[in-house]
């Protein structure tokens, strides 16, 4: 997705940089699990059953899979919306930065943060949004939070269910879709709600206003949200390509533990011998088999130099333990750069993101492959969720000598731009681009540019369809606001949001398992199709 970082100076905005990456708000796609849906009614029943079990993540997956087939089903949409709300609430109450610094806020401090949110939503979101809509979604978020186990456990111990339901009823009757003419009225309405919650159930103003703060973005797209201090720090680490940790991508497998989807090269986990597919069952002696991903991640987090002990279950092996020392882990954008066919001079570059260090890594990879005799290049952007807009433009500029690379159009004046190519430093070797259903945003900018300039062929499957730009606005108390502020367009003026860009050479299915940094010339159908194209008699006669 596209993202611009903006420093909030309260009186003015100073733009730092723009980011385009797929940062899904509700469900990680790090370890994708296919969901099979048979019919609408069964999908709805399955989703509601998962909701009853408070398994919001799986409910979201079921509803999303069903809505791909029956996109206009209102019951499925409502189920997805409910599950997303509850999942967001659960995640907030597992976030120490939220619980320690945001939830306990005073009325004035919390209202000042809420005002930051309203100002930025009204001023910069790609579509106009009214204050009434913003407040209404905060009210909805609070109403749902009052029925959420974690919220109630944290804030309403000793309060009877009857008292909570009475408050929910009064909230619905008095404030549901209430007309709010301007942002100052919003503060008055939220203050009234705080007084109601205090008088009915003794609920402090901090938790109440935080539902309005974080619920505000629920009226926007899936890529807009308010970030806690911890989430803001995580995002900054992703942008910079570094973070403190042990270097794993994991997801909870209920009852089994934390399933490792990736182990980053040269990381503490890699050096400890951990592998993709391993399952963490305990962290420092604490059983994590029934934890959420966020709960286990909080146990794994720590300062550089500190140690963490993990109990590991590996397929067809006895359980064992490893000890890792946390340190700064650098995320390489270029995971592989090698010659895969020396006879024909075919180079291969696998790129996993567009971060601050990506352009330099790409330049180094191209020079290395050129020195090794590269005559043609296969550039792999499968599973690449995107990254920084300016980096996507810089990298595309290596292959396009002139003309527009991408343009952006937004509601705010500084969100509309056209980015152009420059002739110096352009590589002109034949090019094939690999994409799939998880190639998003910055990857789609590259694909659109390559296609519209007839610079090469695209191989694989239709891309994700994330053609929007997000801007990060720094707010008070260490928080930030991530907003969709523009859409981006290919050189020919096309935008493929929610549709995706189709490849020139379609490959029905990709590899079943592709670990980071792996190159499998035998079992990778996309790579085989690309090699076949480059080595075909028809092509070599050109």
Positions marked active-site: 441, 452, 466
Rounded-to-5 percentages of helix, strand, coil across the chain: 40, 25, 35
Sort strands 327-330 and 307-313 into parallel, antiparallel or unpaired.
unpaired
C-alpha dihedral over 353, 474, 129, 468, to 10 degrees?
Answer: -10
47, containing H or E segment: helix 40-52
The radius of gyration of the chain from alpha carbons, rounded to an integer in Å, stands at 24
If phi > 0 it is left, if psi is from -120 to 50 it is alpha, else beta; for residue 354 that is beta
Sort strands 386-388 and 457-460 into parallel, antiparallel or unpaired.
unpaired
Q: Which residues of 93-113 are buried (b: 16+ CB within 10 A; e: fewer)?
A: bbbebbeebbbebebebbbbb
Output the 3-class SS for 198-218: HHHHCCCHHHHHHHHHHHHHH
Q: Is the Cβ–Cβ distance between 505 and 450 less than 8 Å?
A: no
The DSSP secondary structure of 92-159, one letter per residue, reads: HTT-HHIIIIITT--HHHHHHHHHHHHHHHHHHSSS---HHHHHHHHHHHHHHHTT-HHHHHHH-TT-
In 301-441, which residue ranges form alpha helices assigned H by DSSP? 358-371, 389-397
Strand order in the sheet with 431-435: 334-341, 346-351, 376-380, 431-435, 457-460, 505-506
């Amino acid at each position: 997705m596209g993202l611009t970082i903006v420093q909030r100076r309260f009186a003015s905005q100073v733009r730092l940089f723009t980011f385009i990456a797929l940062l899904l708000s509700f469900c990680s796609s790090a370890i994708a699990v296919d969901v099979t849906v048979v019919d609408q009614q069964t999908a709805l029943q399955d989703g509601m059953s998962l909701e009853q079990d408070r398994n919001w993540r799986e409910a979201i997956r079921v509803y999303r899979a069903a809505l791909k087939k029956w996109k206009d089903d209102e019951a499925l949409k409502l189920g997805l919306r409910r599950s997303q709300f509850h999942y967001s609430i659960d995640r907030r109450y597992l976030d120490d930065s939220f619980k320690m610094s945001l939830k306990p806020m005073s009325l004035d401090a919390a209202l000042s943060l809420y005002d930051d949110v309203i100002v930025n939503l009204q001023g910069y979101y790609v579509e106009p949004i009214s204050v009434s809509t913003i407040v209404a979604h905060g009210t909805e978020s609070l109403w749902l939070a009052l029925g959420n186990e974690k919220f109630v456990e944290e804030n309403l111990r000793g309060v009877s269910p009857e008292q909570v339901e009475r408050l929910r009823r009064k909230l619905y009757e008095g404030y549901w879709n209430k007309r709010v003419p301007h942002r100052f009225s919003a503060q008055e309405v939220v203050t009234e709600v705080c007084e109601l919650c205090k008088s009915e159930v003794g609920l402090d103003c901090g938790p109440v206003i935080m539902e309005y703060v974080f619920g505000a973005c629920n009226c926007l797209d899936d890529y807009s949200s308010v970030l806690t201090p911890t989430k803001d720090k995580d995002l900054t680490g992703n942008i910079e390509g570094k973070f403190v940790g042990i270097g794993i991508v994991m997801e909870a497998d209920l009852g089994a533990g934390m399933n490792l989807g990736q182990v980053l090269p040269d990381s503490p986990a890699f050096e400890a011998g951990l592998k993709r597919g391993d399952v963490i069952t305990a962290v420092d002696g604490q059983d994590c088999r029934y934890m959420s991903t966020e709960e286990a991640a909080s146990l794994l987090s720590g300062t550089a130099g500190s140690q963490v002990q993990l109990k590991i279950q590996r397929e067809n092996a006895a359980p064992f333990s490893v000890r890792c020392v946390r340190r700064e882990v650098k995320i390489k954008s270029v995971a592989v750069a090698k010659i895969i066919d020396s006879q024909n001079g075919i180079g291969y570059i696998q790129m996993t993101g567009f971060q601050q260090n990506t352009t330099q890594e790409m330049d180094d990879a191209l020079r290395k492959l050129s020195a090794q005799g590269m005559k043609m290049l296969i550039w792999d952007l499968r599973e690449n969720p995107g990254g920084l807009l300016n980096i996507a433009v810089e990298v595309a500029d290596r292959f396009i000598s002139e003309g527009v690379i991408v343009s952006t159009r937004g509601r705010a004046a500084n969100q509309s731009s056209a980015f152009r190519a420059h002739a110096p430093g352009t590589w002109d070797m034949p090019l094939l681009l690999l994409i799939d259903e998880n190639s998003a945003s910055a990857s789609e900018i590259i694909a659109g540019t390559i296609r519209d300039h007839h610079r090469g062929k695209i191989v694989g499957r239709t891309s994700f369809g994330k053609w929007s730009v997000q801007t990060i606005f720094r707010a008070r108390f260490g928080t930030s606001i991530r907003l969709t502020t523009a859409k981006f367009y290919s050189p020919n003026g096309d935008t493929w949001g929610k549709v995706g860009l189709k490849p020139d050479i379609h490959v029905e299915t990709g590899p079943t398992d592709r670990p980071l940094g792996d190159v499998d010339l035998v079992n990778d159908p996309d790579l085989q199709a690309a090699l076949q194209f480059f080595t075909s008699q028809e092509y070599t006669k050109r």
